[in-house]
Structure 1
Amino acid sequence: MNTIKANEMTKFTEKHIIEFSDCDENQHLKLSSMVDLMMQVSEHQLSQKNAGSEDLLKQGIGWVVTQYHFEINNLPKPGDEVILSTEASGYNRFFEYRDFGISTADGEILVSVQSRWVMFDLKKRSLIPCDEELMQRFNVPLLKKQPFFARLRPQKEYSRKRRYRVRYDDLDTNHHLTNSHYFNWFIDMLDRDFLREHLVKTIDIKFDKEIAYGEEPFSCVVIKKEDAEIKTFHAIENSDGVEETVSEITWRQI
């Protein structure tokens, strides 16, 4: 059942049962499925006040994420009942900040996510200022300072690259590669034995440019051990070798 808590900062929550199709062979929630659930709960909140994807498409605009930060304490398994949550935590002239969470029915926090978004004119393919009336409708505070996000930069070299093609089923309603699909390309670059022995601890990802239908970008990765932690550094490069998305993922052993 969907609920909106009666406070100034509207936090939206809903229950969800994790399905087998949401999980990998270790029966852990897949990163791409996690992002899809985040978009689902956000869409359900926005639709309650006529601000969902369909409502925005009629105005020729959409939301585009520019950066995520994930903190992952544990991942749910098939059959687990979880609480999905989201709230718009603030905005300024061009950015909206939105938080997400996944927790157990007992309140244990499994995943917490911070994100930064822009509004996008779908016809002109350009950024537009935040809609102040929309922000007020959801009681979103105007921020004096921008929240901190990691400064991500491409690596000088990557140990492995693989070309992918953006298919029709990979597109979202903004007509570009859906952001959950990037995680499939990242994970696919890692060896099966590594993935069976490690779980994601943190993720930082920054999207610099949208990827359109029919493009054939490269997914790139290099694995490094830093201060007893294993990190994988990822990038999506276009055919000219220019990085359009960069990411850093920290792992822990299972």
Structure 2
Amino acid sequence: MKYTEELTVPFFLGTQTGTLSLANMANIMLLVSEHQLDKVDAGIAGLAKHGAGWVITQYHIDVTRMPKIDEHLIAGTEATSYNKLMTYREYWLEDDAGQRLVTMRGAWVMMDLEKRKIIPIIPEFAEKVGASFDSKVERFPRLPKQGDFDLTVPYRVRYFDIDGNGHVNNAHYMEWMEDVLGEQFLLTHRLVEADIKYAREVAYGTTVDSAVRSEGDASYHLIATDGVANAEAKLRWAAK
């Protein structure tokens, strides 16, 4: 079941280059999917009635062009399928000419909010938005084994980084990954592809380390707490 909304990118979501960041781009698409879920009582509030919440495990993102501030967009999403433990969703952003600027695919699980453990997908919540059952496990690009890093920067987890599920919102991991690359790199490069895998929650008050190494047109990232991985990613870039 496809769902779309029209929107104009507000100026306060733009970067120095006048375009969306990876995190804000993802947040726009996630907001649209949350609107779809809320319409059928399957969003954060609806799922919380069952003591559960949605948790992302992995994204694959392709970027033709990052949207600009004040640009009018059509944002779309579709929950495609689910199995015993995961549900899969597609997202996209298009301009007024119908050109697809960004596509994103995500794999989600359900978590018991009290026990903080993964639980089987509750079928009615997946089916409310048209996802069909398929026992097949969808494969995402495999991330390479992490090696030595060029730079590691610590970030303190703030109160405002925590979302309604009680952990760091997944978009903040993206901010930590991009920020560690530095201003000069971000001003002279544009993102073309991203693979992000989430492993463990990050709690309020902790300090995470954002590590990066660059190789060719790619940057490899690790977000870790006390040496234990919370998330990892491969981002691919092109010079502007």
Question: TM-score band, normalised by the shorter chain?
Answer: over 0.9
Q: Runs of 4 or more off by more than 3 Å in structure 1?
A: none
**Number of the residue aligned with 2:221:** 234
- Aligned match of 2:58: 67
Secondary structure of 1:164's partner? strand
TM-score, normalisation: structure 1: 0.92
SS in structure 2 of the partner of residue 84 of structure 1: strand
Residue 206 (structure 1) aligns with: 197
Gaps of 5+ in 1: 1-9
Q: Is the 8 A contact 1:154 1:235 kept in 2?
A: no
Query: How many Å apart are 1:153 and its aligned residue?
Result: 4.1
Matched, 1:182 2:173: yes
Shift of 1:154: 4.3
**Secondary structure at the residue paired with 1:47?**
helix
Q: Are 1:19 and 2:10 matched, yes or no?
A: yes
Match of 1:148 in 2: 139
- What does 1:48-197 correspond to in 2, within 5 Å? 48-197=39-188
- Residues 84, 135 of structure 2: 8 Å contact kept: no
Secondary structure, aligned partner of 2:181:
coil
Partner of 2:132, secondary structure, is: coil
Moved more, 48-57 or 243-252: 48-57
Q: For residues 25-44 of structure 1, what are the structure 2 equivalents within 5 Å?
A: 25-44=16-35
Q: For each residue in 1:170-211, what CA deviation from the matched residue of structure 2 results, as whole angstroms up to 9, or x when unmatched?
A: 011111000011111111111212111110000000001111
Change beyond 3 A, Cα 1:175–1:126: same
Q: Is the 8 A contact 1:154 1:246 kept in 2?
A: no
CA distance in 1 between counterparts of 2:225 and 2:13 reads 29
Structure 2 unaligned regions, length at least 5:
none
SS, match of residue 164 in structure 2: coil
Aligned-residue sequence identity (percent) comes to 36
Distance in 2 between the 1:197 and 1:165 partners?
27
Please list the CA deviations of residues 75-101 of structure 1 after superposition, one character each: whole Å capped at 9, or x if unmatched.
111111001111101110000001100
- Whole-angstrom distance in 2 between the partners of 1:153 and 1:57: 36
The alignment yields a C-alpha RMSD, in angstroms, of: 1.1
8 Å contact 1:69–1:203 — kept in the other structure? yes
TM-score (norm 2): 0.97
The one-letter code of the counterpart of 1:155 is Q
- Aligned residue pairs, count: 240
Is contact 2:197-2:233 (8 Å) kept?
A: yes
CA displacement 1:55-114 (0-9 Å, x = unmatched): 222221100000000000001111110011111011100000011000112210000001
Q: Work out whether residues 42 and 128 of structure 2, in 8 Å CA contact, stay in contact via their aligned partners in 1.
A: no
SS of aligned partner of 1:85 = strand
Q: Distance in 2 between matches of 1:96 and 1:52?
A: 14
Contact 2:77 2:91 in 1 (8 A): yes
**Residue by residue, what CA displacement relative to the aligned partner does 1:211-252 show, whole Å, maximum 9, x if unpaired?**
111111100000111xxxx1000001111x122211000001
For the residue of structure 1 that corresponds to 2:53, the secondary structure is strand
Which stretch of the first structure deviates more once superposed, 84-93 or 146-155? 146-155
| Letter paired with 1:12 | Y
Give the deviation of 1:133 after TM superposition. 1.8
Deviations 1:139-196 (A, max 9, x none): 2111232222012244221110011111110011111000011111111111212111
